[in-house]
Amino acid sequence: MLNGTTTEIAERKALRINPAKTCQPIGAMYAALGIHGCMPHSHGSQGCCSYHRSHLTRHFKEPVMATTSSFTEGASVFGGLANLTQALRNIFTIYDPEIVAVHTTCLSEVIGDDIPTIIRKAREEGCIPDGKLVIHANTPSFVGSHVYGFANMTTAMVNYLSEKTGTVLNQVNVIPGFVEPADMREIKRIAAAMGVEIVMFPDTSNVLDGPLTGQYKMYPEGGATVAQIKSAGDSIATVALGHFASHVAAATLESKCKVPAAFLELPIGVSATDRFVDAIRGYAGVEVPAAIELERGRLVDLMSDLHQYFHGKRVAVSGDPDQVIALTQFLLELEMKPVMCITGSPGNAFEKRMHELLDSVVPAAKIKQNADLFELHQWMKNEPVDLLITNTYGKHIARAENVPFVRFGFPILDRAGHRYYPTIGYAGATRLIDQMLNALLDHRDRTCSEEWFELVQ
């Protein structure tokens, strides 16, 4: 794994080695966990659901509950109608959720199961009790990535739940994108500090980072309530964070309920956070409080104090497209050089936006969507970098090339603090600076000659 990567690069069209993504149902399951009282349901084989649950559990270090249609050979041939109908009956009888969020898998997509028809028949047969809800999203694993699954399930929330009553509510919708519970909590903290009422969906804060109370709850206190998501159709506006994960849901809400939308990028770093703060300030008609301005000032001061450590450093970045785009902008603010930027997700919007950001300042940067970590490793072997930023799967590359490494994005399987510390907002940028600087200086201390092993750096 560590020494098998060659420097000679061969074009590959039908093969990915160590892909920088995972499949749609994982993203859909994560989004569904952001609805209060929701049971995510995997319409496919038991093995699919087990893998998706275990991957999320390993990242968040929390038990992830989800149910499955448990396809066998019979369902694979004749379809999953009977399996899903029985599953819904069992789920509401045994687990009593407020809502079930069904997502498909490879198998049910290949079969072509008509999920809305199955849900309608299940309700007619009494499998879905009165007052309970079932929504669904099509999430075939063989196209897109986990980011697309998140986007599809979030859009399903709008299609099934959001409605316009004609009464405009003094609130702003925020669709946060595929980010950590800590990031969602930070978005709510910033809005609260500004005195802005928001409806954020999905919202996994207090779901996958909840406290240990000694009493297990299958449905934790957190998550956006069904009533809140319904009320999103009466909001002043929607702020969608991230082109790939959030913009489709915001556009759907704008079309369905005539709620105007601001299509932003993830607020990582100074300028992107400025745009987010300004958007909710403008829609809510409030002023930015001194506390938020002080946070921004402290971040800018830290960037100025540590400029000499970051200036000109060559960085390789991999991850979800929305996060790579936002992180690249922050690296440019630090006057670092993002020379290699990839995402495993497809979508030409990634390469287009990255070229807009980098062509004038880092013209030789390598940019690629639908790429994999093997190719990134080959690039790094030919053109060494000073820092690697990606998820846990980058640790093999960092070890092989002896490169400082910062874990960022999804999944992070070998560390725990990421679900508690945001990377979004001014405070999140401060955290990222700390992580990057520590990685760079720790590497210097490990590799420098004796005479340069200084107490003061």
Element (H, E) at 308: helix 307-310
Q: At residue 23, does pLDDT exceed 80?
A: yes
Which positions ≥6 away from 448 have C-beta within 8 Å?
Answer: none
pLDDT averaged over every residue in the chain: 95
List b or e across 47-62, with b for residues whose CB sees 16 or more CB atoms inside 10 angstroms. ebbebbbebbeebbeb
**What is d(CA 312, CA 372) in angstroms, rounded to the nearest whole number?**
25
> For residue 137, what are its two tokens?
């999203």
Phi, psi of 210 (to 5 degrees): -75, 165
Q: At residue 451, does pLDDT exceed 90?
A: no
Q: pLDDT grade, residue 271 (50/70/90)?
A: very high
Question: Model confidence over 210-250: pLDDT tens digits?
Answer: 899 999 999 999 999 999 999 999 999 999 999 999 999 99
**pLDDT at residue 357 in the model:** 98
**What is d(CA 143, CA 180) in angstroms, rounded to the nearest whole number?**
24
341 catalytically annotated:
no
> What is the number of alpha carbons within 13 Å of residue 114 lying toward its C-beta?
5
Q: Is 87 exposed, middle or buried (0-12, 13-18, 19+ CB in 10 A)?
A: buried
The neighbouring-strand residues paired with 229 are none
Q: pLDDT grade, residue 337 (50/70/90)?
A: very high
Q: In what order do the strands lie in the sheet with 198-200?
A: 198-200, 172-175, 237-241, 261-264
**pLDDT at residue 2 in the model:** 60
**pLDDT at residue 296 in the model:** 98
Q: What angle do CA 24, 395, 427 make, to 5 degrees?
A: 75
Question: Model confidence over 178-216: pLDDT tens digits?
Answer: 999 999 999 999 999 999 999 999 999 999 998 999 999
Does 3.30.565.10 match the CATH number of domain 24-143? no
Question: Model confidence over 81-140: pLDDT tens digits?
Answer: 999 999 999 999 999 999 999 999 998 999 999 999 999 999 999 999 999 999 999 999
List b or e across 109-136, with b for residues whose CB sees 16 or more CB atoms inside 10 angstroms. bebebebeebbeebbeeebbeeebbbbb
Q: How many CB atoms within 10 Å of residue 312? A: 9
In terms of phi and psi (left: phi > 0; alpha: psi -120 to 50; beta: otherwise), the region of 259 is beta
User: What letter represents residue 229's amino acid?
Assistant: I
Ranges of each domain in the chain: 24-143, 172-209+218-287, 294-452
Instruction: Report the chain's C-alpha Rg in angstroms.
Output: 23
């929701």: which residue's tokens?
38
- Yes or no: say if 195 and 286 are a contact pair by the CB < 8 Å rule: yes
* Residues 30-48, mean pLDDT to the nearest whole number: 96
Which positions ≥6 away from 439 have C-beta within 8 Å?
Answer: 387, 404, 405, 406
Phi, psi of 30 (to 5 degrees): -65, -45
Would you tell me which CATH number, out of the four given (3.40.50.1980, 2.170.8.10, 1.10.3720.10, 3.40.50.300), belongs to the domain 294-452? 3.40.50.1980
> For residue 253, what are its two tokens?
């809400």
Strands of 97-184 (E only): list them.
99-104, 133-137, 172-175
The single residue of 38, 106, 134, 339 carrying the catalytic annotation is 106
Which pTM was predicted?
0.96
Question: Model confidence over 292-317: pLDDT tens digits?
Answer: 999 999 999 999 999 999 999 999 99
User: What letter represents residue 250's amino acid?
Assistant: A
Asked if the domains 24-143 and 294-452 are classified in one and the same CATH topology, the answer is yes
Angstrom distances, CA of residue 23 to CA of 78, 144, 249, 374: 25, 7, 19, 18
Long-range pairs of 48-56 with CB within 8 A, sequence gap ≥ 24: 48/105, 48/106, 48/107, 48/141, 52/23, 52/25, 52/26, 53/29, 55/22, 55/26, 55/411, 56/26, 56/29, 56/30, 56/208
- Yes or no: say if 271 and 333 are a contact pair by the CB < 8 Å rule: yes
Q: pLDDT grade, residue 1 (50/70/90)?
A: low
Question: Model confidence over 350-408: pLDDT tens digits?
Answer: 999 999 999 999 999 999 999 999 999 999 999 999 999 999 999 999 999 999 999 99
In the CATH hierarchy, which fold is given to the domain comprising 172-209+218-287?
A: Rossmann fold (3.40.50)
Q: pLDDT grade, residue 39 (50/70/90)?
A: very high
Which positions ≥6 away from 69 have C-beta within 8 Å?
Answer: 41, 42, 43, 44, 75, 80, 83, 84, 87, 108
